[in-house]
Amino acid sequence: SIRHVGICVADIGRSSRFYTGALGFEALMEVTEIGAPFDTLIEQPGATLRVQQLRCGDVTIELLGFSGTEVAGSAERQPMNRRGFTHMTLVVDDIEAISARIREYGGAVHPETRVDSPFGPLLFCTDPDGVRIELMQKPA
């Protein structure tokens, strides 16, 4: 079984507000300072980790914020053909209403990706750190 999926973020408070406010995730456990020996596990010697777990349905994500080391990488959305994690998909009742909340909470909506499919309307958006989230509207 999968316990959770981790997402490194630049600002854990901002990201937590985004996932709970815009997408309806439920806040679970929060740990404000995790140091040794976990700095060895995450291969960031001397770093302190802050963790916020959030749940949507049966899926838990774990937002990871760092102090003592910089968060690396770009906040630009990455191409779908780049190796590694590409996206998560959320089933929503109203793609337009969720899109408005995504913008309100600091995310971006990419209308050029919208398609009507046999599964219902689909659309990509990104969280404040550029993580792709596919919205799938339930068919009427």
Three-class secondary structure assignment of 30-49: EEEEECCCHHHHCCCCCCEE
pTM of the model: 0.90
Q: 40-84: per-residue pLDDT in tens? A: 887 888 888 889 999 999 999 999 998 877 888 888 888 888 888
CA–CA dist 75, 135 (Å, integer): 19
